[in-house]
Structure 1
Amino acid sequence: MEQQRQQGAAARRMATLASHLRPQRASSHPQMEEGPLLMGSNCRAKGAAPGFKVAILGAAGGIGQPLALLMKMNPLVSVLHLYDVVNTPGVTADISHMDTGAVVRGFLGQPQLENALTGMDLVIIPAGVPRKPGMTRDDLFNINAGIARTLCEGIAKCCPKAIVNVISNPVNSTVPIAAEVFKKAGTYDPKRLLGVTTLDVVRANTFVGEVLGLDPREVNVPVIGGHAGVTILPLLSQVNPACSFTSEEVNHLTSRIQNGGTEVVEAKAGAGSATLSMAYAAAKFADACLRGLRGDAGIVECSYVASQVTDLPFFASKVRLGRSGVEEILPLGPLNEFERAGLEKAKKELAQSIQKGVSFINK
Structure 2
Amino acid sequence: MLQKITVIGAGNVGATCAQRAAEKELADVVLVDVVEGMPQGKGLDLCEASPVEKHDALITGTNDYDATADSDIIIVTAGIARKPGMSRDDLIKTNAGIVNTVCKEAAKRSPKAVMIIVSNPLDAMCHVALKASGFPSERVIGMAGVLDSARFRFFIAEALNVSVENTHAFVLGGHGDTMVPLPRFSTVSGIPITELLPADKIAAMCQRTAQGGAEIVSLLKTGSAYYAPASSAVEMAEAILKDKKKILPCAVYLNGQYGYNDLYIGVPVKLGVGGAEQVIEIKLTADEKAALDKSADAVRGLVKLLGELGY
Q: Given the two structures, how large is their TM-score scaled by the length of structure 1?
A: 0.77
Deviations, residues 178-226 of structure 1 (Å, cap 9, x unaligned): 11223xxxx3211110000121011011112222332122211111111
Q: Is the 8 A contact 1:165 1:195 kept in 2?
A: yes
In structure 1, the partner of 2:34 is: 85
Q: Which of 235, 240, 260 in structure 2 is aligned with 1:289? A: 240
Consecutive unaligned residues in structure 1, runs of 5 or more: 1-46
Q: Is the 8 A contact 1:123 1:162 kept in 2?
A: yes
Matched AA of 1:354: V
Q: Is the 8 A contact 2:114 2:275 kept in 1?
A: yes
Structure 1 ranges of 4+ moved more than 6 A: none
Counterparts of 1:153 and 1:136, CA distance in 2 = 26
Q: Which moved more, 1:130-139 or 1:94-103?
A: 94-103
SS in 1 for 2:12: coil
Deviations, residues 150-190 of structure 1 (Å, cap 9, x unaligned): 011112311121000000000121000111223xxxx3211
Question: Are 1:154 and 2:105 matched, yes or no?
Answer: yes
Question: Are 1:321 and 2:271 matched, yes or no?
Answer: yes
Counterparts of 2:230 and 2:264, CA distance in 1 = 23
Structural mapping, 1:1-363, within 5 Å: 47=1, 51-59=2-10, 61-77=11-27, 79-86=28-35, 87-97=38-48, 98-99=50-51, 100-108=55-63, 112-113=64-65, 115-182=66-133, 187-197=134-144, 198-230=146-178, 232-240=179-187, 241-243=190-192, 244=194, 245-268=197-220, 270-292=221-243, 296=244, 298-307=245-254, 308-309=256-257, 310-312=259-261, 313-331=263-281, 333-362=282-311
Counterparts of 1:210 and 1:337, CA distance in 2 = 30
Matched AA of 1:238: F
Counterparts of 2:307 and 2:184, CA distance in 1 = 33
Larger RCO, structures 1/2 (Cα 8 Å, 6+ apart): 2
Q: Is the 8 A contact 2:15 2:31 kept in 1?
A: no
Give the direction of change, closer, same or farther, for the CA distance of 1:52–1:286 in structure 2 (3 Å limit). Answer: same
Matched AA of 2:61: G
Counterparts of 1:251 and 1:148, CA distance in 2 = 35
Q: Is the 8 A contact 2:270 2:276 kept in 1?
A: yes
Deviations, residues 239-270 of structure 1 (Å, cap 9, x unaligned): 132321433123212110100001101111x2
- 1:337: Cα distance to partner? 4.6
Q: Is the 8 A contact 2:84 2:222 kept in 1?
A: no
Give the direction of change, closer, same or farther, for the CA distance of 1:340–1:239 in structure 2 (3 Å limit). Answer: same
Deviations, residues 34-60 of structure 1 (Å, cap 9, x unaligned): xxxxxxxxxxxxx3xxx411110002x
Matched AA of 1:346: S
Q: Which moved more, 1:256-265 or 1:342-351?
A: 342-351
In structure 2, the partner of 1:44 is: none
SS in 2 for 1:229: coil
Counterparts of 1:323 and 1:267, CA distance in 2 = 38
Q: Is the 8 A contact 2:240 2:274 kept in 1?
A: no
Give the direction of change, closer, same or farther, for the CA distance of 1:176–1:322 in structure 2 (3 Å limit). Answer: same
Counterparts of 1:354 and 1:247, CA distance in 2 = 34
Matched AA of 1:80: V
- 1:359: Cα distance to partner? 4.4
- 1:96: Cα distance to partner? 1.4
Counterparts of 2:57 and 2:306, CA distance in 1 = 35
Q: Is the 8 A contact 2:170 2:186 kept in 1?
A: yes
Counterparts of 1:172 and 1:356, CA distance in 2 = 13
Q: Is the 8 A contact 1:67 1:282 kept in 2?
A: yes
- Say which one has the larger Rg: 1
- 1:314: Cα distance to partner? 1.7
Give the direction of change, closer, same or farther, for the CA distance of 1:74–1:361 in structure 2 (3 Å limit). Answer: farther
Q: How well do the aligned residues superpose, as a CA RMSD in angstroms?
A: 1.7
Among all aligned residue pairs of Structure 1 and Structure 2, give the percentage whose two residues are the same amino acid: 28
SS in 1 for 2:180: strand
Counterparts of 1:358 and 1:190, CA distance in 2 = 18
Give the direction of change, closer, same or farther, for the CA distance of 1:188–1:65 in structure 2 (3 Å limit). Answer: closer
